[in-house]
Amino acid sequence: MNNCHRLRMVLLPLAIALLASGQPTFAGQSPQNAAPPKMETSPLIEKVRAATARFRDINVALREGWIVATPCVSGPDTGAMGVHLVTGSRLADGIIGADEPEALIYEPLPGGAMRLVGVEFIELAGDWTTRHPDGPPPALEGNLMNLIGAPNRFGLPAFWELHVWAWEDNPKGNFADWNTHVSCEQQTRE
């Protein structure tokens, strides 16, 4: 079984369970044309914002086939990552590009609203090594990706990842895994 198939087998049951009652509609989305928050920027962040602006409304992402892969991910004292939505066509496709993140990250808000806060780029370590046996670790626009070994909390094989907080300021840095400005306190069971 190849890594792409394994990843889908892990994520699909979780997504089905979370969306069992049908594609949810979330209230209180930020308008697509609203100005981005005032925060630090970089060429990579600007590219991510341009590529994901339409997904500030989570309903657009859901209509385009993104599926909920995780409930809101948080840490005991490090902040949160948020709810991750993924699209199967980008997982294990071998492409690492600023305009094609593998995951969109949303923060739950009161009343069931969801706010886009960032993205995550993901590359399975085995796939990367197969394509680049003598190459360096993957990087995106000069930013090295982080290796998450197996076993891990997601039940995935080892993978490379990079978070980009394009829609929410992060005191820990624009590319840190955890964001202390993001919270899972408003996560609902729906």
Ranges of each domain in the chain: 3-19+40-164
- pLDDT tens, per residue, the chain with 190 residues: 544 444 343 343 333 333 333 334 444 444 444 444 456 688 999 999 999 999 999 999 999 999 999 999 998 778 899 999 998 888 777 789 999 999 999 999 999 999 999 999 999 999 899 988 998 899 999 999 999 999 988 888 999 999 999 999 999 999 999 999 999 999 876 5
From residue 180, alpha-carbon distances to 24, 61, 74, 169, 170 in Å are 27, 25, 10, 9, 7
Per-residue model confidence (pLDDT) at position 92: 74
Which residues, including other chains, have CB under 8 Å from residue 139's CB and lie 6 or more apart?
A: 96, 145
| DSSP code of residue 96 | -
DSSP secondary structure string for all residues of 133-183 = TTSPPPEETTEEPEEE-SS-TT-PPSEEEEEE-SSS--TT-TT-S-BTT--
Give the pairing type, strands 67-68 and 80-86: antiparallel
Amino acid at 9: M
Asked if 26 and 58 touch (Cβ cutoff 8 Å), the reply is yes
- pTM of the model as a whole: 0.79
d(CA 48, CA 99): 6
Q: Which two tokens stand for residue 50?
A: 């341009």
In angstroms, rounded to a whole number, what is the distance separating the alpha carbons of residues 82 and 115?
10
Query: Which residue type, as a one-letter code, is found at position 153?
Result: R
